[in-house]
Structure 1
């Protein structure tokens, strides 16, 4: 299938955080940009908008991005939302799902192909394991929403290749450049779109001693997790002052 108008919505996952690129808007280039680049091949009329902003909760994504996306009359929409909500201490999953359901219904009503993601099972990583039950319930609710509106699930929960830490940035919360590249391939293959992206291949991972792993975990706690929690307590978002990287739908490269 050929797509002509692609709109990407969401948070840091879709903006591309973890894949730095000084030449790209907002200084990041992610899987959505890679997908758009492949969809634009031999398609001069193709247009791409990326409205995602890092740190956004579900409600701001809906309030700031949904209406504009619908107005663009897309034929392809990708949305990953709710991930930042899942990291909050208190959460009403049923209320979150109801808001998400309404948003997906409005996107599906445009006639576009809609892709939405399950949460990743990061329970193997320190700290995040306590959230596994919450993530699993969220995923079941997302699957129900997708079924109800004919959306397509990108089943991140089952992507076992992401158990390799090289698929993740240092913060273990955002994908690395390799992780974004792999996600673009996953999306293009799901859409059955021919592409030129080469599979991600790593050399054999070095074996860390238990002591080295503990030291790495302590460094992660000290340099990322503690400051991240402090920012949340103070109400500081990584998306403060950030604008959408591709806010409109001109032909790619125009």
Structure 2
């Protein structure tokens, strides 16, 4: 179905690559007006039809300024995130604070900034990228990451509950392991740290997926399109697994 997001103004964070990029591209394909943001604006090249903006989601002032500039929106897609590797013994206070600031507080900032405009319109869809790691399933060596993504689910449900009677929907997507530049960087880093070949480390990521392959950013993007669209008008406060059976 074409035009599923026609006449909708959408803001996408971390739209430069990976899941955020796929969401921005598919939103555009489905007729949305898209404001695509990233800390590195060079990564936004090629998003034809989008309004591209530099945004540091760790800055309350920057987020509030963007919300004022853009005005009331219909869809907010929160895609910014960072994966910290290690157990509690490997997590410094700086690691913990950075992970929660980027993975959770960034969503608090964007939702708080853009929600008033949605409330004025009497409708809006918030889609937060969580993870299969966290409250869905405990994963070794994802201590800080899992904690942040569990918090994202709690945040999503709280927003959904608070504004369910005012036309606002909030949902979380919990992907499995997705092919992306970020994953490539993590694999290279782990290979260097563990003195293993890159392909050995990559295969370990593949082997933990029951479906026997990694997911694609586009597969997550299509789920985001659904949750952003009016097709999902009766869906709020839920987690949506797209994980190749990871949580089975």
TM-score (norm 2): 0.50
- Unpaired segments of 5 or more residues in structure 1? 20-27, 41-45, 194-199, 203-254
Match of 1:89 among 96, 103, 112: 96
In structure 1, how many angstroms separate the alpha carbons of the residues matched to 2:21 and 2:124? 23
In structure 1, how many angstroms separate the alpha carbons of the residues matched to 2:79 and 2:224? 16
Q: Is the 8 A contact 1:108 1:149 kept in 2?
A: no
| Residue 50 of structure 1: how far off its partner (Å) | 1.9
In structure 1, how many angstroms separate the alpha carbons of the residues matched to 2:82 and 2:59? 8
Report which stretch shifted further, 55-64 or 102-111: 55-64
In structure 2, how many angstroms separate the alpha carbons of the residues matched to 1:48 and 1:117? 16
In structure 1, how many angstroms separate the alpha carbons of the residues matched to 2:131 and 2:161? 19
What is the aligned length? 168
Equivalent residue number for residue 149 of structure 2: 135
2:31 is equivalent to residue 31 of structure 1: no
Runs of 4+ in structure 1 deviating by more than 6 angstroms, as ranges, are: none
Q: 1:98 to 1:170 in 2, by over 3 A?
A: closer
In structure 1, how many angstroms separate the alpha carbons of the residues matched to 2:80 and 2:183? 20
Equivalent residue number for residue 117 of structure 1: 128
In structure 2, how many angstroms separate the alpha carbons of the residues matched to 1:30 and 1:155? 16
Q: Is the 8 A contact 1:105 1:149 kept in 2?
A: no
In structure 2, how many angstroms separate the alpha carbons of the residues matched to 1:82 and 1:139? 15
CA RMSD of aligned residues (A): 4.2
Equivalent residue number for residue 33 of structure 2: 47
Report which stretch shifted further, 177-186 or 52-61: 52-61
- Unpaired segments of 5 or more residues in structure 2? 41-55, 85-93, 188-213, 232-241
TM-score (norm 1): 0.49
- Structure with the larger RCO, 1 or 2 (CA within 8 Å, 6+ apart): 1
